[in-house]
Amino acid sequence: MNILPGTPFDCALDGDKLKEECGIFGVTGVHDASNFVALGLHALQHRGQEAGGIVSHDPIQGFNSARRFGYVRDNFTRADVMKGLPGPIAIGHVRYSTAGTKGATAIRDVQPFFGEFSMGGCAVAHNGNLTNAAALRRELIERGSIFQSSSDSECIIHLMARSIQTTLAERLKDALRRVEGAFSVIAMTRTKLIGVRDPMGVRPLVLGRIGEGWALSSETCGLDIIGAEFVREIDPGEMVIIENGHIKSHRPFAPAPSRFCIFEHVYFSRPDSSYGGRSVYEVRRNIGIELAKEAPVEADLVCPVPDSGTPAAIGFSQQSGIPFALGITRNQYVGRTFIEPTEQIRNMGVRLKLNVNRSLIKGKRVVLVDDSVVRGTTSRKIKDMILDAGAAEVHFRIASPPTAWPCFYGVDTPERSKLLAATMSEDEMRDWIGVDSLRFISLDGLYRAAGEPDGRNPDAPRYCDACFSGEYPIPPADKLKEGFEMKEPAE
């Protein structure tokens, strides 16, 4: 659902959550590859709901594309659309804008982007954010490039066009050596499917096998839906080129320490996906276990804030011995409304998506487990709902450290001044939300839950955790030029 400003949903639950930019998927070596891509994008829908696109190639009909607003299920399940995307190779993209026209996406901003070069056509789908895109865009425009979109990802196509290399794969290498930031990229030519991760591997990309063909996906759940066998993750800094059923691996970038986004484990990825041999669900359950150890509380019920808080709430309950209960139910079928958006109706936003089980909550001391606190507005509304239902006490336990810094690597984060944890201490946040207690998991606890028994190594962190620590592994060049002030290094 696209939330429109000025509707009763513009301050509802999802408006106070961090948003991933997109999901990407590609298949080669199968009949009607676009059908497999549509299924993969459906599995990745949680990574972007604004719009989606698919590009395919058929030896007779050439390249074809379709770009649509809205859900995959409403567009790429239609026979008339899929009939126009024939061929044994295709790539696709689902979008939630972090760069470009946020909230007012134009169809020209919807990926994959396509370019026709002297050696043939090439389509590119990008997950992440380029931190030097503004500087690159100015340079390219000054040299004659004409941009069709407001997306940072289009820079990749223009950089390829200016490369002097003689193959599209080499031109893509050239282009990606010029960009900075976080990127997982899936590209396709007439015969090649290409997958690339940035040198630090901030954003995910996995490889799967389907019959005689191959698939690339942002998450393993995308492979599962098409019946593909998970083969491995694309390594940080690796480019794989798949052609005629064979894979070649290249290392086009200078080596760098791996810094996978830890928020993929906390919130973004589906719980049935896995990274680094670790189930996302198990990491989230472990977060709840660590939370119960770090921040115990006397209570009668542990309730998740649906749906992202559920695995952590299960872990908290198992460790603490406090019974787990579904004290809040989510309405999965909320659509747009034509009710006049008065202030009273806007304040009902959360209630339209969540409802409290009053008979379960009344008179109880309740622990609410949520994945994060961003602005805190939704936390206050949920607290009010629980108290209105007759709860004796409300305690919040948060399955991530305080989000105090914006992300510049592909996550739609408010500016620092609008992040509650950037301006308040934990106690001040507790009082502002109005709960009996509020505790976040520590950064060390989060690392332990993700498989680092000694916690976070401050000299060489395994993950990108800039939104919690303020330590950016890739300097955000464009933002620094705009005046963004980074955290002073510890002495």
Mean pLDDT of the chain: 90
What pLDDT is stored for residue 97 in this prediction?
A: 57
C-alpha–C-alpha distance, residues 463 and 331, integer Å:
34
Is the pLDDT assigned to residue 426 strictly greater than 70?
Answer: yes
Q: Is 198 annotated as a binding residue?
A: no
Q: Is residue 137, in this structure, part of any structural domain at all?
A: yes
Highest mean pLDDT (candidates 33-42, 328-337, 379-388): 33-42
Here the CATH number for the domain that contains residue 232 is 3.60.20.10
Over 90: is that where the pLDDT of 5 sits?
no
Q: Kindly state the average pLDDT of the residues 288-309.
A: 95
Same domain, 33 and 96: yes
pLDDT of residue 461: 96
Q: Is 69 in the same domain as 186?
A: yes
Assess whether pLDDT exceeds 70 at residue 344.
no
- Are residues 385 and 315 located together in one domain of the fold? yes
Instruction: Judge whether 464 is annotated as a binding position.
Output: yes
Residue 303 marked in a binding site: no
Q: What confidence category does residue 75 fall into, taking pLDDT thresholds of 50, 70 and 90? A: very high
Looking at residue 18, what is its pLDDT?
61
Amino acid at 402: P
Are 82 and 198 members of one domain? yes
Q: Is the pLDDT of residue 337 over 70?
A: no
Long-range (24+ apart) CB contacts under 8 A made by 73-81 are 73/42, 73/45, 76/34, 76/38, 76/41, 76/42, 76/52, 77/38
Rounded percentage of the chain residues whose pLDDT exceeds 90: 81
| 476 falls within a domain | no
For residue 66, what pLDDT is reported?
A: 97
Q: List the domain range (segments joined by +) for residue 173.
A: 19-258
Judged by DSSP in three states, 121 sits in strand
Whether residues 290 and 253 share a domain: the answer is no
Q: What is the CATH number of the domain that holds 402?
A: 3.40.50.2020
| Res. 246 pLDDT band, cuts 50 70 90 | very high
Average the pLDDT over 406-416 and give the result: 86
Q: Are residues 291 and 247 in the same domain?
A: no
Q: Is residue 388 part of a domain?
A: yes
One domain, residues 239 and 290: no
Same domain for 292 and 358?
yes
Q: What is the pLDDT of residue 413?
A: 78
- Indicate whether 276 belongs to any domain: no
Same-domain pairing of 86 and 158: yes
For position 140, what pLDDT does the model report? 95
122 noted as active-site residue:
no
In a domain, 482, yes or no: no
Region 345-362: what's the mean pLDDT?
Answer: 78
Query: Is residue 346 very low, low, confident or very high in pLDDT (cuts 50, 70, 90)?
Result: low
Question: What is the arithmetic mean of pLDDT over 153-163?
Answer: 95
Of all helices (H) and strands (E), which one includes residue 253?
none
Q: Is 467 annotated as a binding residue?
A: yes
Residue 410 pLDDT more than 60? yes
Query: Strand (E) positions, 14-110?
Result: 19-20, 22-28, 51-58, 62-69, 89-95
Which residue, among 281, 92, 78, 308, has the nearest Cα to 187 in the 3D structure?
92
Looking at the DSSP bridge assignments, the partners of residue 243 are 192, 246
Which of 53-57, 272-276, 377-381 bottoms out in mean pLDDT, i.e. has the lowest?
A: 377-381
pLDDT at res. 20: 55
Residue 6 clears pLDDT 50, i.e. is over it: no
For residue 489, tell me if it sits in a domain: no
Q: Per-residue pLDDT averaged across 226-234, rounded?
A: 98
Q: Lowest mean pLDDT: which of 10-14, 431-435, 471-475? A: 10-14
Catalytic option among 22, 122, 221, 303: 22
Q: How many domains does the chain have?
A: 2
Residue 277 resides in a domain: no
Instruction: Tell me: cis bond preceding 461? Omega within 30 of 0 counts.
Output: no
In a domain, 488, yes or no: no
pLDDT at 162 exceeding the cut of 50? yes
Tell me the mean pLDDT in the region 271-294.
96
**Can you tell me the distance from the alpha carbon of 140 to that of 125, in angstroms, rounded to the nearest whole number?**
20
Same structural domain, 323 and 444: yes
| 217 and 290 fall within a common domain | no
155 among annotated binding-site residues: no
Positive or negative torsion for Cα 97, 100, 104, 107? negative
pLDDT tier at 242 (50, 70, 90 boundaries)?
very high
pLDDT at 414: 75
Residue 14 has pLDDT above 90, yes or no: no
Are 393 and 292 part of one and the same domain?
yes
Question: Each residue of 98-122: pLDDT tens digit?
Answer: 444 445 568 999 999 999 999 999 9
Residue scoring higher pLDDT (216 or 329): 216
Yes or no: say if 319 and 292 are a contact pair by the CB < 8 Å rule: yes
CB 409 within 8 A of CB 477: no
Backbone angles phi, psi at 394, to 5 degrees: -130, 125
